[in-house]
């Protein structure tokens, strides 16, 4: 009996509205022997609803869209007792996690990768109980993920994130926080903070692949304290330009859980989408929680 595949498509994702590549992806699934059912999302949260309501009826679930669509689909599957393996065809503007996984940007090639994969268990994060796939972040680069209008993201792609991030960084707005992780506590004012399981952070910063393992039960914690002097600011800019996160003034750790306490709540992003903050945030790693088709 042929296996079944649910294909969840965000029709508004990406730089092009052409459906031709998606027809090619569906054809690839069919040629591999799958019975394919396609569902288009109607708005925010719909991918999660589709995955939760229909996921158990299928042997595999694949989503097409940006990192937000991936987050929603994974979140929906995680509501199930036995979620099916998840495939991802990147179709957004930046696709951080896809870049980290080495997924093809071509929908047909990505579909072929999915049909040939047996699945790999990867870690999933929880942000005060809410799932995220690869990053929870706050601060200077955080708003860049959602403040740029979708039309600009579609037209400029990666450049839109850089423009928004640099504009935000220039204000040097500090965020007061106490961050506890791995038996250490960091108290101060931070420009940026991220808890990640990816080599690409916010479409702007890159971590070396040998420092990131996606199924080891550990996150990468990156904190950028607010520079107190012109010399510290110069050192920070150098770290960002050279992508050197072992340099002075940057805190980088591998940890399984993080607690962030703040005098007042400030906004976060989860997988590039807005997430409401809290004066106490608990972030935990659920090791090898979900099958991904890579």
CA nearest to 267, candidates 126, 143, 134: 143
42 Cβ neighbours under 8 A, 6+ residues apart: none
- Nearest by Cα to 275 from 215, 171, 182, 194: 194
Query: Which distant-in-sequence residues (6+ apart) come within 8 Å of 83 by Cβ?
Result: 55, 61, 77, 290, 291
Q: Mark out the alpha helices in 148-292 (DSSP H runs).
A: 150-156, 158-171, 230-242
Q: Which two tokens stand for residue 4?
A: 């079944």
Active site residue 273: yes
Candidates 232, 273, 282, 286; catalytic one: 273
Residue 109 · residue 163 · CB < 8 Å: no
- CA dist 234 and 132 (Å) reads 33
| Catalytic center residues | 273
């Amino acid at each position: 009996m042929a296996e079944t595949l649910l294909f969840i498509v965000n029709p508004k994702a990406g730089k092009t509205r052409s459906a031709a590549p998606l027809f090619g992806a569906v054809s690839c699934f069919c040629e591999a022997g799958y019975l394919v059912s396609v569902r288009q999302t109607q708005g925010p949260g719909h991918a999660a609803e589709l995955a939760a309501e229909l996921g158990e009826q299928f042997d595999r679930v694949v989503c097409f869209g940006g990192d937000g669509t991936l987050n929603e689909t994974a979140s929906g599957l995680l509501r199930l007792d036995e979620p099916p393996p998840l495939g991802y065809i990147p179709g957004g503007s930046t696709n951080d996690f896809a870049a980290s996984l080495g997924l093809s940007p071509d929908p047909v090639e990505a579909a072929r990768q999915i049909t040939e994969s047996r699945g790999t268990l990867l870690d999933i994060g929880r942000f005060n109980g809410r799932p995220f796939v690869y990053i929870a972040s706050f601060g200077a680069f955080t708003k860049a993920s959602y403040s740029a209008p979708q039309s600009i993201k579609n037209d400029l792609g990666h450049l839109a994130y850089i423009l928004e991030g640099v504009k935000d960084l220039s204000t040097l707005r500090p965020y007061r926080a106490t961050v506890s992780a791995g038996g250490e506590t960091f108290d101060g004012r931070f420009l940026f903070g991220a808890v990640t399981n990816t080599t690409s952070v916010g479409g702007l910063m890159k971590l070396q692949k040998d420092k990131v393992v996606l199924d080891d039960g550990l996150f990468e914690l990156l904190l950028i304290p607010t520079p107190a002097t012109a010399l510290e600011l110069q050192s920070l800019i150098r770290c960002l330009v050279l992508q050197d996160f072992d340099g002075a003034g940057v805190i980088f750790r591998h940890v399984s859980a993080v607690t962030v306490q703040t005098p007042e709540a400030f906004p976060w992003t989860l997988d590039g989408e807005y997430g409401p903050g809290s004066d106490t945030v608990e972030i935990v790693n659920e090791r090898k929680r979900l099958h991904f088709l890579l």
